[in-house]
Amino acid sequence: MIVIYTSPSCSSCKKVKKWFEEQNIPFKEKNIFASVLNPNELKDILAKSENGTEDIISMRSNIMKEGNVDIDSMSVNQLIEFIRKNPSVLKRPIIVDDRRIQVGYNEEEIRSFIPRAQRIAAMSCPKFNCGDCDDCISEDELKMIKSA
């Protein structure tokens, strides 16, 4: 299941949700301000991020700027508690599935969340690249699908 961590006023979060809805891909939305984040969810996000905290923590957030916070000196458990108490430090949206994570809205990278069966079905359009139907894909999209 795809989980999208969002905040209500985030325009990128709205774009991501709209994209998943348009692709008919089910997802679960978690508003980071509506409930306290689960430590296991945060561990999963950290484990999947290539660059650790750099990928998910916004150094531009007020807490990070004003608080003189040194996240590099925190243990994993301290970091998780810090994020749970200060969810506004997270970059948004954060999209997570069982294998990958994406932070922010990136039009090209988000396509990796299209289920493989759906990508293969799109390639089977008899009018490949005709542009007349919703099932068509461009040659660039085909290359991206094959490389995923």
- Rounded to whole angstroms, the Cα distance separating 127 from 137 reads 9
148 pLDDT higher than 60: no
Q: Which residue has the higher pLDDT, 129 or 103?
A: 103
Question: Average pLDDT of 57-81?
Answer: 90
Confidence of residue 18 (pLDDT cuts 50, 70, 90): very high
Whether residue 142 is found in the same domain as residue 70? no
Q: Which of 102, 104, 50, 42 is nearest to 76 (CA)?
A: 42
Confidence of residue 40 (pLDDT cuts 50, 70, 90): very high
Whether residue 99 is found in the same domain as residue 129? no
Whether residue 125 is found in the same domain as residue 108? no
Name the residues annotated as catalytic. Answer: 10
Q: How many domains does the chain contain in total?
A: 2
Domain that holds residue 127: 114-148
| pLDDT tens sequence across 84-117 | 999 999 999 999 999 999 999 998 899 888 887 6
